[in-house]
Structure 1
Amino acid sequence: MALRLRTDNWTVVWTLSPSPYVQQCRYRSTTVHTIVQTRVHIRRELPVNGLIPTGQSLLLVAGKLVDGAGEPFATVNPATEQVLGHAANATNADMAAAIDAARTAFDTTGWSRDHAFRARCLRQLRTALQGHLEELREITIAEAGAPRMLTRGPQLEGPIADVDYAAGLAETYDWETDLGVAAPMGIRTRRTLCREAVGVVGAITPWNFPHQINFAKLGPALAAGNTVVLKPAPDTPWCAAAVGAVIAAETDIPPGVVNIVTSTDHRLGAQLATDPRVDLISFTGSTATGTAVMSAAAAGLKKVFLELGGKSAAIVLDDADLPAACAHTAFSVSMHAGQGCALTTRLLVPRASYDDAVAATARVLANIAPGDPDHDGTVCGPLISGLQRARVERYLELARAQGGTIVTGGGRPAGVTQGFYVEPTLISGLTNDSPVAREEIFGPVLVILPHDGDEDAVRIANDSPYGLSGSVWGADPQRLHAVTAGVRTGTLSVNGGVWYSADAPFGGYKQSGIGREMGTAGFEEYLETKLIASAVPES
């Protein structure tokens, strides 16, 4: 689908394909006569859903859908603040049972060794999920506040399609490599390099892109031959539980291979990280929590990889198409209300063009109204909760207190009494050492900063504890190459290029994480390497 936005004499056309993060911003000199603005209205509540027919989701443990031992907890629609239903609330005993099931499945079945069977099960899961797309879409819009247009891409359809990539790796990966014959210490030896599943994976995931992040872990972990205990965020339990219902009813995935444990008890994450039956922890979330997870896992010397926070910078060079760069960055920070670790939240522009850039960016942001996520034209939906909105509002107050100028936005939409909405906001007048420019806000808040040339722009971009993503805009290939080489991030977009896909590694430098997800590099995070040395008889 496409979203068109006219500002003065140019038009932005924002398109989203079914593949994850395949977005394009096109810029035209033609004029259109309508500006798409989605205003907030109260969407209907979730109808009876076949994946959660009773209005209460269940845990998936040892192949069965079961209640948790704790009191069921409410899941809330962030667009309306109304309770959608309830979710099973696991206790430490439930988590222990899930870990035991995963350990037993890994140790006593052929799951880790039957590559073709795993590929078949993953494709079976993909097909089954596609048969429930509309039910999953309704859950994702209602529970995560994900705009409907994003469910056609990275919020739902893309991650499900990516399960095919994981299935293909299970079939085609080079599980054994013959290193040939050598004679270390005079003994003729044939060396075979074997790659095997790590074992039991504990996956801990956030709420912002629940399907994308859950499948970024489930797909490669299962394809590699591991068993999994998934603990999703308590804000989006239904998104994960619905997948569990499909696995239990419509796939041949053996009992215990996938376990899904929803809970409001954050100590269950620490339980996963410290249980000796768990071999690897894959965590996505805040840097502070990731540090705690890594510390807990260190006691047992578990393998850990982390995808953490970001404060990504868009660098605009002096030969760039300034309106295009500003528009693209404005849309990036507004998408899903800025609730994405890799979205660009700092805009670095040439000092001589600073005022023009502020004006161009403000025009675009002012025309992206927070909207009902159930509406096809919405880009910026609600924040996930009242707590998250309060966090964003504290940063807005801090920006004002430190001398920043709220160019546009800066508050709740006028006349809106329900939903956790914040307007897309542009802040000028701050420096890069301001907390608002350095800390991850996780909201639709963009800070615009001046730079004094290419080297200065790289310096500012790198002057951050994070190094997850970013973008560079310019015309000269040599300058673009020099800037991209200098920026210390795991991914970079050049002039709107798309870096996210199933076959490409994703991850960060510095406090943005350790390891990679997606692609062969992400798949190999879930593998161990074994060398088998066989003596060769003398002929």
Structure 2
Amino acid sequence: MKRLLIDGKLVEAERTFASLNPATGEVLGQAPEATTAQAEAAVAAARRAFDTTSWPTDVEFRIRCLDQLHRALVEHREELRELTMAEVGATRINTHGPQLDEPIEQVRYYADLLRTYPLTEEIGDAEIRGQIHRRWVEKEAAGVVAAIIPYNYPIQLALAKMAPALAAGCTVVLKGAPDTPLITLALGELIAEHTDIPPGVVNVLTSPQVAVGEVLTTHPEVDVVTFTGATATGRRIMAAASDTIKRVFLELGGKSALILLDDADLTAAAPFAGFAACSHAGQGCAINTRLLVPRHRHDEAVQYVAAVMGKVTYGDPTDPKNFMGPLISERQRDKVDGMVQRAVAAGATLVMGGEKIDPGFFYTPTLLANVDPGSEIAQEEVFGPVLAVIPFEDDDDAVRIANDSIYGLSGGVCSADEERALAVARRIRTGTMSINGGNYFTNEAPFGGYKQSGLGREKGVPGLEEFLELKTYAKVVA
């Protein structure tokens, strides 16, 4: 059984909870259920490591440790792949992309960035009351970070938070999702057994108890909270952190719109729309789940997309022929199915899908047409392989519909006229946009949202700067 990582030691818990294989519904293994006392101990260890060791100030040591972590991840890649397929339900093809192989390189990216990133900036001398004052700014670690991640991309999200936080010199308490505890604990084991990262710098907890998360978000010794998950939970975390004025970074929900303008090539855009909606069974916050098409091309677009979604293979995640795996749990599948059934009752046309497949928690690729842009299925995050097709009248109407959402995480525009596509994209209130299928999700590109899709950015230089504080200095030189 895997163990918690607290203050450099791999420790057990008095109680355990089951982790299920979502492709079969069977118990995969038991995970330790951290207590609130163990959460307190993890925070105390992180605080002590930050306050009493050289970790926040020794850049070369941090680079070396990140190099070691990257090497350990690469060397244990295949073990992590098997566990990701079994516990997360990610297909093999997905692990060769955003579930595992690409996230591992985030550690390499931040180790390399730290080698060249300027932690000191001169802002020039100034004459003040007859004296010359030199002024400069130093960037230093923000402190103890509580990182809370969801189930859908656990390796990617853990490393997107840990790697820049560690590069910045912070210490971390990472809490894995209750649905995918084992893969998160595996990261803790690699850190403990294959790196020189000092005790307390990284602590890894798993627990289904809400109280454990509350310790991390309210503890006065935690300086930064970074959370990825549902918008409703993000609101509660912001409120909980307000008593101690913590820095809060949130990557929340999305209801992203892909707009096909009237001159778009449907043969090119349909695969982009159809396969993307089924990526990881739709369990991705940035997936385009609304497809906006010109009203006069609605039926034509639906026909093209249905043909693509009909080719989506699903089943055993370990079979390389399968593109899509299961939803994470029976609870999530019931939620998705309920939303689809209500959408049909509200007037949407069920073109294909809308079926539960057993064993496991599979749900067929689902296409809904003639969707009302104000309906639940067009406004609420589904987190399942469901694509809602919404007709629009003209470019202005498309922009209005796309922006009519509490979310603003991602989106896309397709047009034969690239400048026209870009002009429309610039009017959409989202943090990331794809033009004619362009891929923004790389280590160098900042990722995050507008509105209730979150605060702050992961990846790239801004991802590092989320974990840095600015300190301005001045001294008299003449």
Name the TM-score class by shorter chain: over 0.9
Alignment of 1:59-74 (within 5 A): 59-69=4-14, 71-74=15-18
Deviation digits for residues 481-519 of structure 1 (CA, Å, limit 9, x no counterpart): 210110110000111110011111000000000110111
**SS state at 1:448 partner:** strand
**SS state at 1:181 partner:** strand
In the alignment, the residues of structure 2 paired with residue 146 and residue 123 of structure 1 have an alpha-carbon distance, to the nearest angstrom, of 27
Do structure 1's residue 241 and structure 2's residue 185 form an aligned pair? yes
Decide which of 146, 166, 175 is 2:110's aligned counterpart.
166
Deviation digits for residues 371-417 of structure 1 (CA, Å, limit 9, x no counterpart): 2111112221100001100100110111121011110001123xxx3
The corresponding residue for 2:434 is 493
In the alignment, the residues of structure 2 paired with residue 246 and residue 215 of structure 1 have an alpha-carbon distance, to the nearest angstrom, of 13
The corresponding residue for 1:536 is 477
In the alignment, the residues of structure 1 paired with residue 143 and residue 3 of structure 2 have an alpha-carbon distance, to the nearest angstrom, of 25
In the alignment, the residues of structure 2 paired with residue 478 and residue 153 of structure 1 have an alpha-carbon distance, to the nearest angstrom, of 30
In the alignment, the residues of structure 1 paired with residue 181 and residue 256 of structure 2 have an alpha-carbon distance, to the nearest angstrom, of 28
8 Å CA contact 2:370, 2:391 repeated in 1: no
In the alignment, the residues of structure 2 paired with residue 402 and residue 267 of structure 1 have an alpha-carbon distance, to the nearest angstrom, of 38
8 Å CA contact 2:125, 2:133 repeated in 1: yes
**SS state at 1:68 partner:** coil
In the alignment, the residues of structure 2 paired with residue 509 and residue 187 of structure 1 have an alpha-carbon distance, to the nearest angstrom, of 45
Do structure 1's residue 229 and structure 2's residue 187 form an aligned pair? no
Decide which of 70, 88, 99 is 1:144's aligned counterpart.
88
Decide which of 284, 306, 315 is 2:250's aligned counterpart.
306
In the alignment, the residues of structure 2 paired with residue 464 and residue 323 of structure 1 have an alpha-carbon distance, to the nearest angstrom, of 28
Gap regions ≥5 residues in structure 1: 1-55
**SS state at 1:520 partner:** helix
The corresponding residue for 2:285 is 341
In the alignment, the residues of structure 1 paired with residue 176 and residue 128 of structure 2 have an alpha-carbon distance, to the nearest angstrom, of 49
Supply the AA of the counterpart residue of 1:150.
Answer: N
**SS state at 1:460 partner:** helix
The corresponding residue for 1:471 is 412
What RMSD in Å do the two structures reach over aligned CA positions?
0.9
Decide which of 447, 452, 472 is 1:506's aligned counterpart.
447
Q: Percent identity?
A: 53
Supply the AA of the counterpart residue of 1:57.
Answer: K
The corresponding residue for 1:516 is 457
Supply the AA of the counterpart residue of 2:134.
Answer: R
Supply the AA of the counterpart residue of 1:492.
Answer: M
Decide which of 332, 337, 362 is 1:388's aligned counterpart.
332
Comparing both structures, which one devotes a greater share of its residues to helix? 2
**SS state at 2:29 partner:** strand
In the alignment, the residues of structure 1 paired with residue 323 and residue 130 of structure 2 have an alpha-carbon distance, to the nearest angstrom, of 67
In the alignment, the residues of structure 2 paired with residue 386 and residue 399 of structure 1 have an alpha-carbon distance, to the nearest angstrom, of 20
Q: TM-score, normalised by structure 2?
A: 0.99
The corresponding residue for 1:195 is 139
The corresponding residue for 2:158 is 214
In the alignment, the residues of structure 2 paired with residue 337 and residue 215 of structure 1 have an alpha-carbon distance, to the nearest angstrom, of 22
Q: TM-score, normalised by structure 1?
A: 0.88
In the alignment, the residues of structure 1 paired with residue 130 and residue 322 of structure 2 have an alpha-carbon distance, to the nearest angstrom, of 70
Deviation at 1:185, TM superposition (A): 4.1
Deviation digits for residues 255-286 of structure 1 (CA, Å, limit 9, x no counterpart): 10000011110221111111011000000000
Supply the AA of the counterpart residue of 2:419.
Answer: Q
Deviation digits for residues 411-464 of structure 1 (CA, Å, limit 9, x no counterpart): 123xxx310010010001221000011100000000001111111111111111
The corresponding residue for 1:57 is 2
8 Å CA contact 1:167, 1:223 repeated in 2: yes
8 Å CA contact 1:431, 1:437 repeated in 2: yes
The corresponding residue for 1:407 is 351
Deviation digits for residues 262-321 of structure 1 (CA, Å, limit 9, x no counterpart): 111022111111101100000000000000001000110000010000000000011111
The corresponding residue for 1:118 is 62
8 Å CA contact 1:369, 1:423 repeated in 2: no
Supply the AA of the counterpart residue of 1:312.
Answer: S
In the alignment, the residues of structure 1 paired with residue 63 and residue 327 of structure 2 have an alpha-carbon distance, to the nearest angstrom, of 37
The corresponding residue for 2:120 is 176
8 Å CA contact 1:285, 1:308 repeated in 2: yes
8 Å CA contact 2:294, 2:393 repeated in 1: yes
The corresponding residue for 2:370 is 429
Supply the AA of the counterpart residue of 1:355.
Answer: D
Decide which of 282, 285, 292 is 2:229's aligned counterpart.
285
The corresponding residue for 1:77 is 21
8 Å CA contact 1:312, 1:346 repeated in 2: yes
In the alignment, the residues of structure 1 paired with residue 147 and residue 275 of structure 2 have an alpha-carbon distance, to the nearest angstrom, of 30
Supply the AA of the counterpart residue of 1:151.
Answer: T
In the alignment, the residues of structure 1 paired with residue 113 and residue 167 of structure 2 have an alpha-carbon distance, to the nearest angstrom, of 7
Supply the AA of the counterpart residue of 1:330.
Answer: G
